Amino acid sequence: MDPKLIEIIEKELNSKSYPSNPKELYEPIRYILSLGGKRIRPLVCMMAAEMFGLPADSKSVLHLAKGLEIFHNFSLVHDDIMDEAPLRRGKATVHEKWNRDIAILSGDVMLVQAYQELIQSESEDLKSLIDQFNRSAILVCEGQQFDMNFETIEDVSLEEYLNMIQLKTAELLACSLKMGAMLANASETDAEALYRFGINLGLSFQIQDDYLDSFADASKFGKQVGGDILANKKTYLLLKAKENASSEQSERLQAAMKLNGEDKVSAVLDLYRELGVDQDCEKAIDKHYQKALEELEAISVDAQLKAPLKNLAAKVMKRDH
């Protein structure tokens, strides 16, 4: 990540001013925006704009970047209510710290504030810019709905799962890149290529997230390896395993998933390996990563202007060490 750009975003987000009343509405907004995070969406938006000649720290770009981060945080506040999550970035979620109603309403205000930032971006084609934002915003909501549906549906296909993570995670990343490019008057072809770069990078990242939860080096992984298995979470690995399994293997997988604790994790992992799911997953991660790089490659600017986003992709995917 570029620490200088992230510092600029943080400063922008933390210096936002709010009415003092009703404080129940504005304190949660200040709170959630101060909790940090990778700020990856505003970051790639700024980098995309810079790639096409608009300085990353120009006012216009910063408004757009802020709008995207505020939208992302709006979606976190509302998703956390739905998921009944107690913690976000190690701190109490808004509905826990205040209450459900305040989380709904301050989230609503944030969604409007995102548009307040967008319209200040001095775009030459504000309509197209907001149109792109609207479409992506709705897709993100669709992703959340599919994710909730999948919790109670037994038969989720791998294809449906990939569609869900694309909507829920990759879409806003791709949108951020594309909007940065659009603001800098990139050609539609280039803006679309950057969008697909974002979709593929987002997919690669999310599939890797699933992979690491099961196959990470426990000494380097930040959380418990096997958490998804213990929670019966529908992941790329589990859905691919179901796809690959013979009926006999499928029965063994079901039996393994009825075990508890370490026994469950190791039995399921053994089956994942037997079914070649670890390798399938690695291939999928690599396929989307390479596809992302190809999309970046095809963009009609000098290679050196693409280097920052290429490096960012490598860092996000931990391919740099």
Which one among 111, 156, 216, 230 touches its own copies, defined by CB under 8 A?
Answer: 111
24 binds its own copies, rule: CB under 8 A = yes
Look at the block and give the residue holding tokens 């006999």.
Answer: 248
In this structure, the chain runs to a length of 321
The count of chain residues that interact with its own copies, using the rule CB under 8 A, is 35
Among 112, 153, 255, 298, binds its own copies (CB under 8 A): 112
* Helices vs strands, H then E, count in the chain: 16, 2
Q: Which is nearer to its own copies, 99 or 300 (CB)?
A: 99
- How many C-beta neighbours within 10 Å does residue 142 have? 15
Give me the least distance between CB of 140 and its own copies, in Å please.
9
**E strand spans, 198-316:** none
Quick check: 263 binds its own copies (CB under 8 A)? no
> Is residue 113 at the binding interface for its own copies, with CB under 8 A as the rule?
yes
Regarding 105 and contact with its own copies (CB under 8 A), the answer is: yes
132 versus 311: smaller Cβ distance to its own copies: 132
Q: Does residue 144 bind its own copies (CB under 8 A)?
A: yes
SS3 of 91, please? strand
Q: Which stretch binds its own copies (CB under 8 A): 16-24, 31-39, 46-54, 259-267?
A: 16-24
User: What own/partner pairs with CB < 8 Å and gap ≥ 24 does 24-31 have?
Assistant: 24/98, 24/102, 24/106, 25/102, 25/105, 25/106, 25/109, 26/106, 26/109, 27/98, 28/77, 28/94, 28/97, 28/98, 28/102, 28/103, 28/106, 29/106, 29/109, 29/110, 29/113, 31/94, 31/97
Among 11, 34, 101, 254, binds its own copies (CB under 8 A): 101
Which of 127, 220, 258, 321 touches its own copies (CB under 8 A)?
Answer: 127
Coil/strand/helix, residue 238: helix
* Shortest Å, Cβ 130 to its own copies: 5
Kindly tell me which of 7 and 101 has the beta carbon lying closer to its own copies.
101
Nearer residue to its own copies within complex by CB, 68 or 256: 68
Measured CA to CA, the distance from residue 192 to residue 242 in angstroms comes to: 34
Q: Is 98 in the site for its own copies (CB under 8 A)?
A: no
Structural tokens at position 275: 């079914």
- Nearest CA to 306 among 183, 205, 201, 197? 197
Q: How far is the CB of 133 from its own copies (least distance, A)?
A: 8
Q: What residues numbered 61-80 form the site for its own copies, per CB under 8 A? A: 78
Minimum separation from the CB atom of position 96 to its own copies (A):
16
Tokens read off for 142 = 């669709």
Residues in touch with its own copies (CB under 8 A): 19, 21-22, 24-25, 78, 81-82, 101-102, 104-105, 107-109, 111-113, 115-116, 119, 126-127, 130-131, 134, 137-138, 141-142, 144-146, 148-149
